[in-house]
Each structure stands twice: as C-alpha cells, then as structure tokens.
Structure 1
Amino acid sequence: MLSAQEAFQLILKTVKPAPPVQRSLFDAWHCVLAEGTVSDLNIPPFDKALMDGFAVKSSDFRDGKATLQIQETIYAGSVPTIALQSGQTSQIMTGAPLPEGADAVVQIEHCQIDEAARSVKIDTGPMSPGKNMLPQSSVLEAGAPVLAAGTFLRPQEIGALAETGSPTVMVRPAPTVAILATGDELVAPEESPQAGQIRNSNEVMLHTQIQQADALPRPLGIARDERDHLRSKIQEGLNSDFLLLSGGVSAGERDLVPDELEQSGVRQVFHKVNLKPGKPLWFGVLERADGNPCYIFGLPGNPVSSMVCFELFVRTAIRQFMGFPSPKPQILPARLCNDFHSSGNRPTYQPAQVKWEAGEAIVSPLKTMGSADLHSTVQANAVALFATGNQHYQAGFKVDVFLW
C-alpha cells in the first residue's frame, strides 16, 4: 500500500492544471488566476480627500487655529480649478481630488462657516501634512503588480481587479465532478429502505463537498452491481473532468468498479492507501481524444471513509486542477484537549473538533463506531492524525490536524 504522502505525490504528478480561460469579473468569483495582473493607473489617481471638510495648507495652522477664505467647493468626480495660496481653503467632499497647494483636509465638524464673508473658522489642534487624505499612488503605482498567478479570487480580489483596470482575467476554471454511487443496497434519500437496504447518503454528501471545493457537481444517481448498468453510468461520468465512484472498490465479489474502469480505457495510478479510514481508495486517469483528461477516484462506500478520502485526496486533485499554488491539505498542529487512545495497523485520521483558545488550536477527537458511523462526524470540523500502533496520548500532546 502507498503512504498518504506517496498518494498525494502521485495525484499532483498526474493531475494537470486546467487550460486558462478568459472570464469577466462577474464570472470569475472563486476561480484561480492563471496570469498575474498589473495596475493600469496610480491608486489613488490623485491626492484624495478621505472625509467631508476643507482642503487646507497645514502651514496655516501654527497654533492649531485658522480663519481661511473659501475659494470653491470640490465634489467627488469634479476637478479643482483654483490652486490654494496661504490663507485660502476650498470646501471638499469625500473622494474628491485636493486642489494644488493643499496638503491636508480638516473634517467638517471642526469648522464654522461664515457664508456672508465666504470664510471658515477652523479650530482643529495641531495640523500635519497628509491628515485625512490619501496621497496619489500611495496604494499602487501604475504598472505595479496587483495580484499574482495562483491567487484565489474572493470578493475583495474581484474589486481590486476592477479598480486597477482588469475587467476580464485569465483563470483556471472549476472542474465538473460527476458522482456515481454504486451498490444494490442503495435507495434514494426520499425512499423508505426495505430489508437489507440503506439510503444513498454518499451522493448528497459528496455533492456538498464538491461545492465546498468550488467545483461543479454532476450527480448521476445509483449504479447497480450489474456490469451493463455500471458500464453505462461510468461512460456518462467519464465525460466530466472528474468522476467519483462511491463503493465497489474493495475486494468483494461484486466490487466491479476497477475492472469496469480498466475496460473503459482508464489507467490505474494507484489502488489502496495506508490509512484508516479509506484504505480501498482507487485513483486513475482517462486520456481522452480531445486532450482533456478525466480523473477518476474510486471512493470507499462507507460514508466516513468516503468523506475523509474526499477531504484529503479529491480536494487536493481539484485544487491542483484549478491552479492553486499549494493544493495539498494544510497541516495544523493542535493540542489535545483530553487523553486519547489510538490503536490499529494503519495511521488513523480521526474525526475531531478543533477550537481556538488564546490563539492556540485545541483538538478533541470524537468517539466513532467506525467508518460506517456518519453521525460521529456531525460535530467534526477536522480530522486528527494518529500514528500506527497501540498508543496512549495524554492531554496537552500536540498532534497534526487537517481542517475541513
């Protein structure tokens, strides 16, 4: 069996980042930039008022007070027409450009306007250059880098791109991910299971996990343990960027998935990983005629195994496809909240709850009845990694955790 780290390396070696596509900013949210961007102008493009008040020369306020003659009113979107001399001021609105000669803004609350005399009395205390204003190009200079390739686009990045003249961007698109649950024992969630049957929880669970990974799920329903039906469903799923099969990858008589994938031209990259839960994990690739591969994961049928394998391995593959610079799960050291006993012949990824106390991650491993006990994950927001063997861990011991 492969170690988890060996499986990660094979996934990263096999999965290629998607070819870049051009998207408008309205369609680029939660994509990853394929190319870096630069600003086409200075930010801000002029000395900018940060509040309503009066544009002034700070040298007029030697004792913190001044009475100044009002020259004009400058609104956001307009251009000043009068340069300030000593003893002069212009009323200014938030976002408007400062007139030539001004180096500070006094907020309106410190000003008493004499409309008849077209003057303003100001008592603001000590005044220094730059107060209540943002100098030209102090945020970015024209031609300066804005965002690097590999940046995940959240609302703030989208706004920054719009501000700096990138209305369209080259991104790596989210993949389509087909989901196929297998097994004669499965029925739809809305059905009442009969003797020997269980509800198909994996499909909707994986659907949500795919959405959380910013990919596009395509549920295909249930494939029965019969070759023709399974084959037709697999062929449908191989039209997507990824195909996830749940169940049918162990060593049972009706575990038909690996053989049917081989018959469909899929090349196996690995089968079985040394971890608990999730040992039967299968991974392969179909090199399609259009040059765009389909990546296939055969996930264990037990729901906790399926969930853990998705979070560790499938999410890594999706992030690699989308062009994330660090696609592997990020390890977080966390201190055990309580004693914990672990046993087994494989490294164990235990469902766990992580909380933060005084800035430190504290982890509580959760009790579970095994990989079929989906309810044990309801309180989990992570898995904690425990080494092979029969070991007792005392409260306070630090372990590696992977946040979900």
Structure 2
Amino acid sequence: MLSVDEALARVLKGLAPLGTERVLIGQAHGRVLAEDLAARLTQPPFDASAMDGYAVRAADVAALPATLKVVGESAAGAGFRGRLERGEAVRIFTGAPVPDGADTIVIQEDAEAAGNGVVVKHAVPGQHIRPRGQDFKEGEVLLRAGTRLNPRALMLAASMNHAELTVRRKPKVAILATGDEVASPGTVLGADQIVSSVPYGLAALIEAQGGEVVLLGIAKDDPESIVTLARTGGGADILVTIGGASVGEHDLVVETLRGEGLDLAFAKVAMRPGKPTFFGRLGEQRLLGVPGNPVSALVCGYVFLVPMLHALLGLTVDDRPLPLAVLGEDLEANGPRQHYMRATSSWREDGERVVRALPSQDSSLVAAFAEADCLIVRPPHAPPAPKGARVKIIPLKA
C-alpha cells in the first residue's frame, strides 16, 4: 500500500492549470484569477478630505482662534474649482477634493460658523488629508494570478476600474455512484437498499472549491451499466467513482474501466478511513475512485480531490504545514495507516483551538461526521498522545 503522501504525489503529477475565460466582475466571486491585475487608475485620484469640516491654509491657522472667510464648498463629486487664497476657507465634506492652495482640514467640531465666515478654534497642520495615490497608483499590481477572488479582492478589483476579469475555467468533475444497493434520495427503498448520499457531499465540496459538478447517476453492479454511465462523463476533467473499489465479487469498477483504457496508478492507500481508494487515467481524464462508505468517501475528497482541484485552478501553492491544535483528551497509539479522526473544536481564552475526537470513528456514521469541524491527522504508528499535546488537523471549512 502507498502512503498518503506517495499517493497524493501520483494524483497531482502532471496536473496543470486549465484554460482561461473572461467573466464580468459581478460573476467572479470564488473564481481564481488567471493573470496579474494592475490598477487602471490612481486611488484616490486627488488629495481628498478624510473628515467633514473646512479646508484651510496652515499659515492662516498658525495663531488661534482664527477667523476666515468661507468662499465656497467642496463635496464628493462636486469639488471647489477655485484656488484658496490668504484668509479664506472652503466648507468641505468627507471624500471631497481638497481645493488648490489648501493643506489642512479643520474638523467641524473644532470650528464655528460665523455669518459668511468661520472661527477656527483648533487645527493641526496637514491633518485629515488623504493624499493622491495613498491607496494605490495606476499600473501597480495589486492582485496576483492564482488568487481566489473573495469579497475583499473583488472590491479591490472594482476599485482598480476592472469590469471584467480573466479567470481559470472551472474544473468539471463527473460523479458516478455504483452499486445495486444504493438508490437516489427521496425514492422508495427496496428491502436491501440504502440511500446514495455520497454524491451530494462530494458535489458540495467540489463546488465550494470552485469546481463544476456533473452527476451521472447510479450504475448497477454490471460492467455494461458502469461503462455506459462513465462514458457520459467523458468530457469532465475528473471522473469520481463511488464504491465498487474493494475486493468483493461485486466490486467491478477497476476491472471494468481497464477495458476502457484505465491506466491505474494505485489501488490502495495506507489511510483510515479510505483504504480502498484508487487513482488512474482514462486518456486525458483523471479518475479517482473513492470507497462507498460515506465518511471514507468524503475524507478522500478532502485529502485528494481538493488538491486536484487547486492544481487545475492554478491556485497559489501554500506550503505551510497543516495547522496545529491542542488535544482536549488523550488519544491512544495509532496503527499502521494514517488516521483522519473526525473531531470537534472549542477555543480557549488565549485563542488556542482545542480538539476532541468523536467517540465513534466508524466510517459509515454520517450523523456523527456532520458534527465534526476538523480532522485530526494521526501519522502511521504514532505513539499515544496525551491531553494537551499538539496535533495536526485539517479544518473542515466546506
């Protein structure tokens, strides 16, 4: 059996970012930027007031109180067009252009209107002005290729005056469930059937990571059924099969797809849950086969499928190690396979994340898995870990 690291290396070998497309900025949330993005303008484009008050010359308020003549107004979108001369002030509002000749903003709380003038009671030279280009300058690269476009990045891109963005094409993932024993949700189950739940968990994970999902349905434990449905997903970048990957007489997926040209890279991984995972290629298509047990399948999704999607999207590589958390209770020694233990978290006052493994780690327990917010990663043959020890985790963000 391959280690998880060896298996993941084979899964990612040769994967390169997909092609690009242009999308409207309003449709770009969650997409991955495919090229560096430079500002098309300078922001702010002029010296701007940071407060409501009066624009003045510092020389005129060197001695206080100072009485100045108000000669106009500067508002956002309607600036004062003249030049401030000696002894003058301009009423100004937040975001408005600072008039020529002014170099200080007196906030309105430090001034008192008096007829056609204003009495300045307090002023700090140069204060409350946002200089031109303080945020960014035209031509400055502010977003890099490989960035996933979140709300902050999109707001920045819009501020840079971009209406369209070049992003990576969404990886298309076809999902094929197999087995006579599984049926679609909402159907009347036969006496020996269970609900096919894994496709919907995997689909949600794929979409959260920026992929596009095609649900192919459920193939019977019959080579013809498997081939027929698998071929309908031939246009996908990745084909994920569920079940039929173990050693039983009805586990037909690998041998059936060999007849379609499957080049198998591995068939078992030293992990728990998820040992019967396999991976290979069908021409240009990658094939990931995950176990039928729901927890096993979704854990394999986090361990293998998410990195595959990131590689196809060209996401900036994050080489940091998995985050650490503190054990809230003792853990016994681990066996020969890397164990992904479902766990829940709490936070101490000092900000430390404290994790506790769920009482049962059975790979078929969907209700228990839904309670988890992270996976504790236990290396093969790890010794007992006492309460308070630090362990690696995979946060379950999606």
Q: Give distance in 1, aligned partners of 2:343 and 2:109.
A: 54
Structure 1, residues 34-75: CA drift from partner, whole Å, max 9, x if none?
110111222111001223221122333335543211121112
Query: 2:110, 2:123 within 8 Å by CA — same for their partners in 1?
Result: no
SS of residue in 1 equivalent to 2:279: strand
Confirm whether residue 394 of structure 1 aligns to residue 386 of structure 2: yes
Confirm whether residue 182 of structure 1 aligns to residue 159 of structure 2: no
- 372-381 or 6-15: which moved more? 6-15
For residue 122 of structure 1, report the CA deviation from its aligned partner.
2.6
Confirm whether residue 222 of structure 1 aligns to residue 218 of structure 2: yes
Q: Give distance in 2, aligned partners of 1:143 and 1:326.
A: 25
Partner of 1:165 in structure 2? 161
1:256 to 244, 252, 259: 252
Partner of 1:317 in structure 2? 308
Confirm whether residue 236 of structure 1 aligns to residue 232 of structure 2: yes
SS of residue in 2 equivalent to 1:33: coil
What are the equivalent positions in structure 2 for 1:5-404 lying under 5 Å apart?
Answer: 5-62=5-62, 65-115=65-115, 118-123=116-121, 125-129=122-126, 131-287=127-283, 293-326=284-317, 331-357=322-348, 358-389=350-381, 391-404=383-396
For residue 192 of structure 1, report the CA deviation from its aligned partner.
4.2
For residue 282 of structure 1, report the CA deviation from its aligned partner.
1.4
Question: What is the identity, as a one-letter code, of the residue corresponding to 1:127?
Answer: V
Closer, same or farther in 2 for the Cα pair 1:147/1:307, shift >3 Å? same
Structure 1, residues 332-385: CA drift from partner, whole Å, max 9, x if none?
111101112244221211011233321222211112252112222122111111
For residue 126 of structure 1, report the CA deviation from its aligned partner.
4.4
For residue 9 of structure 1, report the CA deviation from its aligned partner.
1.8
Query: 2:73, 2:91 within 8 Å by CA — same for their partners in 1?
Result: yes
Structure 2 residue ranges without an equivalent (≥5): none
SS of residue in 2 equivalent to 1:14: coil
Closer, same or farther in 2 for the Cα pair 1:121/1:344, shift >3 Å? same
Closer, same or farther in 2 for the Cα pair 1:14/1:282, shift >3 Å? farther
SS of residue in 2 equivalent to 1:295: strand
Q: Give distance in 2, aligned partners of 1:299 and 1:305.
A: 7
Structure 1, residues 67-117: CA drift from partner, whole Å, max 9, x if none?
2111211121234322223321111222211111222322333332234xx
- 241-250 or 99-108: which moved more? 99-108
Question: What is the identity, as a one-letter code, of the residue corresponding to 1:133?
Answer: I
Query: 2:209, 2:309 within 8 Å by CA — same for their partners in 1?
Result: yes
- 22-31 or 264-273: which moved more? 264-273
Closer, same or farther in 2 for the Cα pair 1:372/1:327, shift >3 Å? farther
Q: Give distance in 2, aligned partners of 1:182 and 1:64.
A: 84
Query: 1:8, 1:328 within 8 Å by CA — same for their partners in 2?
Result: no
- 196-205 or 336-345: which moved more? 336-345
Give the percent of matched residue pairs that are identical in Structure 1 and Structure 2.
Answer: 32
Query: 1:51, 1:132 within 8 Å by CA — same for their partners in 2?
Result: yes
Question: What is the identity, as a one-letter code, of the residue corresponding to 2:125?
Answer: S
CA RMSD of aligned residues (A): 2.0
SS of residue in 1 equivalent to 2:202: helix
Partner of 1:290 in structure 2? none
Structure 1 residue ranges without an equivalent (≥5): 288-292
Query: 1:316, 1:328 within 8 Å by CA — same for their partners in 2?
Result: no
Q: Given the two structures, how large is their TM-score scaled by the length of structure 1?
A: 0.92
Q: Give distance in 2, aligned partners of 1:192 and 1:73.
A: 73
Question: What is the identity, as a one-letter code, of the residue corresponding to 1:253?
Answer: E
Q: Give distance in 2, aligned partners of 1:269 and 1:101.
A: 72
Query: 1:235, 1:264 within 8 Å by CA — same for their partners in 2?
Result: no
